[in-house]
Amino acid sequence: MPATQRIPTQIVENKVIVWDPADGSKLYSNGFYGKPLGIRKPKTTEFDRPSQLSFFEALHLLRKGTIEIFIEDPKAPLDERRLIAIAEEHHQDFSRKYQVYEDLRKRGFVVRPGLKFGADFAVYRQGPGIDHSLFIVEVIAKSDEVSAIEVVRAGRLATSVRKRFVLATSTEKGKIRYFVFSWIKP
């Protein structure tokens, strides 16, 4: 999308609102970004209400040049740094989690919130409503270490939600690493 046609969005508390339903529908149908207000599971990619983006989605779309974001004055859009600063206030560990979000998006996955599965992200090959999520991803608390409790949680949760549970972390060089844990009874 050319820079001139950036979709305007507005920060309201901890969400980024896409006011125009046509814009929201466009974002949803091109990669499943955002969620229409008050529709739990959108059946179609066309809807008639504003939609909300998470900060992860907003930063990614801002970087791609798809959207612009303002707070009060539509003529004063935010830059990346300002957006990250706001996101950090609202979402603990935002930047580290964002690295994983972006890595997964760049790999071509559809990345949606994973809270209802007890993780950071739910990852789809095609998208919600088309296929079930392939796996869920938790970004580990400390970037270079895995603790016993994280291993156990990952293994147990994978069993209970019947999905592959992936722990993601970034190495010192900033590369993202993914590990799958599964519980076994030897």
Partner 1 sequence: MEIKAPEDERPQLPDESIPAQFSRGRVTVKGEQAPLLYEAGYYGTLKNGNKLILEPEEVLLLVRRQRIQVSDSKGTNFEFADLLEQLGERHPGLWTRFLVYSDLRSRGYVVRTGYGKGLLFRVYPRGAKLNEATAKYFVCVISEGVPLKVTEIETFSKQAKRNRKKLMLAVLDRQGETTYYLVAPADIVAEK
What minimum distance in Å lies between the beta carbon of 95 and partner 1?
18
Rg of the Cα atoms in the chain: 17
Shortest Cβ distance from residue 53 to partner 1 (Å)?
21
Q: Is 88 helix (H, G, I), strand (E, B) or coil?
A: helix
When the beta carbons of 70 and 178 are compared against partner 1, the nearer one is 178
Active site residue 132: yes
Q: Which of 132, 142, 178, 185 is the catalytic position? A: 132
Contact 110, 32 (CB under 8 A): yes
Cβ distance to partner 1 smaller for residue 78 or 111? 111
Run of H or E residues at 12: strand 7-12
Nearer to partner 1, 16 or 154 (CB): 154
Minimum CB separation from partner 1 for residue 27, in Å?
A: 19
Torsion angle (degrees, nearest 10) of CA 103, 104, 110, 111:
-90
N- to C-terminal Cα separation, the chain: 53
Q: What are phi and psi of 78, to 5 degrees?
A: -80, 150
Nearer to partner 1, 72 or 145 (CB): 145
In this structure, are residues 34 and 24 in contact, taking their beta carbons and an 8 Å threshold? Answer: yes
Q: Which two tokens stand for residue 106?
A: 């760049």
Is 124 marked active-site? yes
What residues line the site for partner 1 (CB under 8 A)? Answer: 104, 107-109, 125-126, 135, 140, 142-149, 151-152, 154-155, 164, 166, 169, 171, 177-186
Among residues 124, 142, 178, 185, the one annotated as catalytic is 124
Residue 4 CB, nearest approach to partner 1 (Å)? 30
Catalytically annotated residues? 124, 132, 163
